[in-house]
């Protein structure tokens, strides 16, 4: 979803700063772009669970392009064993991994992007949630809980950002 969105935005003339933990994926993305599109893209390897790394990424983006009009956040994980483990079988490491990426990662982006002066006003932040945001699923308890948290955080950030003309929304593919 993130790659498709990036390509659509590039086809419409946008300048993009793209981050991921997968440097090879970022390199392959650049190789797939035409020469003109490559001039409008910068990439960064970023661990979104690290707030200072997210801050550095956003500051670098703003420094390079002069402003940030919007953010599309497609980072997320279902974990390593979605659909295979009941809640009592899930270990703490798996729980922390899912919650860190899905909840802490979103928190880091929202908290850094909504600092006064970071995002161009009016601006927009869109986060990809999930159908798991609305209900629970057998053998999907932690992922579902993380996506429920995402919706609460997005709704709250929408109220806070909305006071300054910044839209904060989520989509649920």
Indicate the SS3 state at residue 84: coil
3-state helix, strand, coil in the chain (%, to 5): 50, 15, 35
Catalytic residue at 95? no
- Nearest CA-CA partner of 25 in 90, 92, 74: 74
* Residue tagged active-site, from 62, 104, 147, 155: 147
Nearest to 71 by CA among 11, 148, 19: 19
The active-site residue, picked from 67, 93, 104, 143, is 143
What is the rounded end-to-end Cα distance, in angstroms, of the chain? Answer: 9
Taking every pair of Cα atoms in the chain, the longest distance, rounded to a whole number of angstroms, is 52
* Site of tokens 């006064």: 116
19: exposed, middle or buried (C-beta count within 10 Å: 0-12, 13-18, 19+)?
A: buried
**Which amino acids are annotated catalytic?**
143, 147
């Amino acid at each position: 979803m993130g790659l498709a969105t990036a390509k659509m935005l590039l086809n419409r003339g946008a300048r993009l700063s793209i981050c991921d933990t997968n440097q090879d994926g970022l390199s392959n993305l650049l190789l797939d772009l035409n020469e003109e599109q490559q001039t409008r893209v910068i990439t960064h390897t970023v661990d979104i669970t690290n707030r200072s790394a997210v801050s550095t990424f956003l500051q670098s983006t703003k420094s390079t392009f002069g402003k940030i009009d919007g953010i599309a956040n497609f980072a997320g994980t279902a974990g390593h064993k979605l659909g295979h483990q009941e809640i009592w079988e899930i270990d703490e490491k798996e729980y922390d991994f899912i919650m860190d990426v899905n909840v802490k990662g979103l928190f880091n982006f929202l908290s850094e992007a909504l600092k006064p002066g970071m995002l161009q006003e009016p601006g927009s932040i869109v986060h990809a949630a999930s159908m798991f945001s609305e209900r629970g699923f057998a053998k999907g308890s932690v992922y579902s809980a993380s996506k429920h948290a995402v919706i609460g955080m997005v709704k709250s950030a929408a109220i806070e950002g909305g006071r300054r003309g910044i839209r904060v929304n989520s989509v649920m593919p």
